[in-house]
């Protein structure tokens, strides 16, 4: 036990030393990917529990952050699910590893919702690239440290957008300058979404583009519910 306690302490100090010079860091399982303020990205190996996903935001903004950000950050846990697949980004940064992309990845609809820790601010931008299968619909719920819903997928904060063939579709500026359309609400979401939603008061909506669209792009601008 003493060995693991010391190992955890050393890993924490290692991350802090790296992150103090960075604008953001994403930790996936045994890897840490650091983006420095000059735009340089570096990946390193860490020995941690497999499947561990954590998003650490360091103070200050960089080119991936929209100019509308304001106010203090709020630590949250973000839960999301898509039938079939979705690549979710926050201010242009992925919240998990997408290999391959949503367009060709295996069906994730039967899986439980994914989750990641983050710091949200008013004006933060979520972008989603998704693929539907037999069913459709994307759901997102962000909860604070007290388990209260502070942001969710709905018809007000979210829009469908058309980035065309832009490879940087996930960047907030691309979404901002793309044609936008109202979202469609899936009235009968896939069961992992129902399970997620019931845990937090059944207030989130499962959203998508027109049901006949196999691929779609969604953008949501954070406006806290409280």
Whole-number Å distance between alpha carbons of 95 and 88 = 6
Q: 121-159: per-residue pLDDT in tens?
A: 999 999 999 999 989 999 999 999 999 999 999 999 999
Reduced to 3 states (helix: H, G, I; strand: E, B; else coil), residue 133 is: coil
Cα dihedral value 150, 99, 22, 40, nearest 10: -140
Structural domains in the chain, CATH included, are 1-62 (no CATH), 63-221 (2.60.120)
Reduced to 3 states (helix: H, G, I; strand: E, B; else coil), residue 174 is: helix
Alpha-helix residue ranges (DSSP H) falling in the chain: 2-19, 172-176, 191-199
Question: Tokens 């103090």 sit at which residue?
Answer: 20
pLDDT band at 72 (very low <50, low <70, confident <90, very high): confident
Q: 177-191: per-residue pLDDT in tens?
A: 999 999 999 999 999
Return the structure tokens found at 167: 């490879």
Whole-number Å distance between alpha carbons of 167 and 4 = 43
Reduced to 3 states (helix: H, G, I; strand: E, B; else coil), residue 172 is: helix
Q: What is the largest CA-CA distance in the chain?
A: 57
């Amino acid at each position: 036990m003493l060995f693991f306690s010391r190992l955890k302490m050393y890993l924490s100090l290692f991350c802090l030393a790296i992150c103090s010079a960075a604008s953001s860091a994403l930790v996936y399982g045994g890897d840490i990917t650091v983006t420095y303020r000059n735009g340089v990205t570096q990946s390193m190996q860490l020995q941690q529990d497999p499947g561990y996903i954590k998003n650490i935001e360091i103070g200050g903004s960089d080119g991936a952050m929209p100019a509308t950000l304001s106010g203090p950050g709020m630590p949250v846990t973000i839960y999301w699910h898509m039938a079939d697949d979705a690549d979710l980004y926050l201010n242009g940064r992925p919240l998990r590893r997408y290999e391959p992309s949503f367009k060709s990845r295996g069906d994730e609809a039967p899986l439980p919702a994914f989750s990641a820790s983050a710091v949200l601010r008013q004006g933060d931008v979520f972008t989603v690239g998704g693929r539907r299968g037999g069913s459709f619909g994307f759901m997102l719920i962000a909860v604070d440290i007290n388990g209260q819903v502070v942001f969710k997928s709905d018809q007000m904060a979210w829009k469908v957008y058309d980035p065309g063939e832009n490879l940087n579709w996930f960047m907030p500026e691309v979404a901002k300058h793309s044609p936008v359309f109202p979202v469609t609400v899936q009235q009968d979401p896939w069961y992992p979404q129902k399970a997620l939603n019931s845990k937090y008061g059944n207030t989130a909506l499962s959203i998508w583009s027109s049901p006949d669209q196999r691929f779609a792009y969604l953008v949501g601008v954070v406006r806290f519910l409280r």
